[in-house]
Structure 1
Amino acid sequence: MMSCLLKRKASNNLANASNQLLLKCFVFFRQHNKEQCEVKLLNSQETSSKLIELTSKHSKVAFAVAWASHRTKVFESFINTKSKIEYGVIGTHFSQTHWEVLDWCVRNRSNIKFIFDEKTSCVFHPKVYVFWSSKEWDLLVGSANLTVGGMTNNTELMLHVSSREQDSEVLKTRALEIIRSYYDQAQIVSRSRLNTYREQWNRRQIIEGKERTVESELLSWTWKEYYKQIQKCSTIRQRKEAVMLLKYALEDFEKDIPFHQLPPNTRRGLAGSHHPKEGKFSEIEIGYFGRARAYGNFTQIIYGNVNGNQLQTLGEGLGHIPINGAVYREDYMKYVEGFKEALNCKPHGLGVGARLLAIKRPDTFTPWNNVNKRTLERLLRLKPSLKPQDYERYWDEVIVPVRESKWYNSAKPKASLELEIWQSRVAMLDALSGGWNQIQI
């Protein structure tokens, strides 16, 4: 009983600290003239842009938020400069924070802790961000969490205070004291705690029904329903050939040799360009999961027939996608940057870009090309249609929802071929268009 009272008292102290900070803001404005500080009101989109700008500008960052999403540009900017984070605190009430945020913190040592409190009578609910360098500081406080909604579509309002005078550091000092008090009461996430939280997060998705899942036929399927659709749209021979192609690809990627250093015929097989004349890929059909023959410049890069380091740039970009474990938005965007740089302003798009992703990580990425995109857009109810260069929409509106679907998060099946297809279940979306029937060995 005493421990519960102490926990409730601590929660109340956290809430009181947030209220005190807001009050102190107003006092600060009355005591300091415009020469010492600048005060602005920001909406959601302005807040997102400003946070990214300040992360780049300043040498130190501290923040405390109720919830966070793993696929925001702001969180991406934070983790890309994780050495700047003095301390960050993220709440987890109602399992609103995405489990992949915790997963990133397990994989990467950072000064980010979490508030785990199953009692919802006192919710950890601050939204405060502090940035500072030797002579300047910026403070944002208001309603915007570090979530997709908080940084895009929600109706949010943030107060941005910028100071150029060291004599006016009282507000910055108080804000950092409050965030530090949160940090001292927060916990470092462990692997076991992550696993528990992920189960809670998944249960919440089921309980709430997830509007997107209800709207989308594809995302509402169970594994049995999805597998039945794959069987309906392909033959057993095609499924075995597709699995064999992915097995061969995995063998090459597991060698830990950069893509650009692999033999030319191996690169052709992986990229789905013209059929290799020798090597293991010459013995099988490589047309599953898309082809790259229509992109002449890309094909020449794969062959190594271009001057400069375009092939190396492509290989280094693909190297940002790990061979196993979670793939994060920042990993994907680094690949996209390398992919576009390698093409050097020549025609490019998801047709060839997603082929390499699906071949390397078939458990995470799906091909996206002229053969399958109409079927997948219909099943996902994507509007408007994805354009060839809609790389960010491909991640945000295809990959992320798919990874939250019922069939994606299902238990492993036991049957041999079905298990192999389950292990490549995202790439296998390619079969649903019926395009495999056009492939000739």
Structure 2
Amino acid sequence: MAKPIKKSEAAAYREVWKRKQPALRRLTGQYGSSKTEKPPTASSVMSMAWDNYINAVKADRHHGFEGRCELLATVARAFAEHRTFESMPLPLRKTIAGLPNDQESRWGWFESMQGAGYYHQAVNENNKHLSKALDRIPSRGVVSRSEYEAYIAEFLKAFPNGRHGVAIASRLLALKRPDQFVCLDSKNQRGLCRDFGIVRNGIDYDRYWDEIIERITDSPWWNSTRPRNAKEAAVWDGRAAMLDAIFYEE
């Protein structure tokens, strides 16, 4: 004999069902409001296990993966040793920002922001909103959407006249938290969007999170256990930013 369901149990079931819907939609390839016909299993990178992913990163045709690891380690030390972005010396801020400087030759790795004039000015003038924006992003733990949105809200204050964008916003994110963010720019956007099944045009701050970051954090390689091997562990610590090694095109 079937047991009658109490109203409280039915309400709890509906709440669980509602919470599961985003995950179920992602299984069909829907991230955010955009629907792609390409499910995660059809993406060569999203479906990779860790061993396949590390091999793809090591096959970097443009920059050495060890050099990439060294740059990310330098930046990680900078964030550990300096309380804020604005307290760092200018060459270090420029390195993190992807701008030319006389102390780090690899400043343009993980995408160059050299052509972003207003951004260059904001970094040169040590605009407080860039630093405050980065303060919204925790150094450890999974970054939540609300923390990301707080970052974007503060970041935009540095550009009251516009001339901002996903490329420069994601560059700073990728260097502070390379485990969760990738810098999305013209050099890697075509390959990444093709593999993920994303429409390239019109990627704004919401789509960057919904269609790119959520895909990354659903991937098997991203959810893998941190390797014991030191070199692989260095890649794992920067595993989202390292997508640039796979998708970068001259």
- The answer to whether the superposition gives a TM-score over 0.5 is yes
Aligned residue in 2 for 1:385: 200
- Taking only aligned residues, the RMSD between alpha carbons, in angstroms, comes to 2.7
Kindly indicate whether residue 235 of structure 2 is the aligned counterpart of residue 409 of structure 1. no
- 1:285 counterpart residue number: 106
Residue 61 of structure 2: which of 234, 237, 247 is its match?
234
1:249-268 pair list within 5 angstroms: 249-268=75-94
Secondary structure of the corresponding residue to residue 158 of structure 2: helix
Distance of 2:140 and 2:22 partners within structure 1: 29
Match of 2:7 among 8, 13, 16: 16
Aligned-residue offset at 1:212 = 3.2
Point out which structure has higher relative CO (alpha carbons under 8 A, 6+ apart): 2
Write out aligned runs for 1:238-387 (5 A).
Answer: 238-275=64-101, 277=102, 282-304=103-125, 311-382=127-198, 384-387=199-202
Partners of 2:92 and 2:151 lie apart in 1 by 20
Map 1:145-294 → 2, pairs under 5 A: 145-146=18-19, 149=22, 212-234=39-61, 238-275=64-101, 277=102, 282-294=103-115
In 2: Cα distance, 1:17 partner to 1:361 partner: 41
| Structure 2 residues without counterparts, runs of 5 or longer | 26-37
CA distance, structure 2, for counterparts of residue 219 and residue 369 of structure 1:
19
Matched residue, 1:423: 237
Cα distance change, pair 225–299 in 1 and its aligned pair in 2 (3 A):
same
Deviations 1:32-59 (A, max 9, x none): xxxxxxxxxxxxxxxxxxxxxxxxxxxx
Distance 1:327 1:412 in 2: 18
Aligned length: 236
Taking a change above 3 Å as real, the CA distance of residues 242 and 149 of structure 1, as seen in their structure-2 partners, is: closer
- Aligned partner letter, 2:18: N
Q: Report the alpha carbon displacement of residue 316 of structure 1 after superposing the two structures with TM.
A: 0.6
Kindly provide the amino acid, as one letter, of the partner of residue 7 in structure 2. Answer: N
Give 1:215 shift. Answer: 2.9
Q: Per the alignment, do residues 327 and 256 of structure 1 end up closer, same or farther by CA in structure 2, a change over 3 Å counting?
A: farther
Aligned residue for 2:112, secondary structure, equals: coil
| d(CA) in 2 for partners of 1:17, 1:427 | 45
Contact 2:235 2:242 in 1 (8 A): yes
Residue 146 of structure 1 deviates from its aligned partner by: 4.8
Equivalent-residue separation in structure 2 for 1:304 and 1:259 (angstroms): 12
Q: TM-score, normalised by structure 2?
A: 0.84
What is the percentage of aligned positions where both structures have the same residue?
28
Structure index of larger Rg: 1
- TM-score relative to the length of structure 1: 0.49
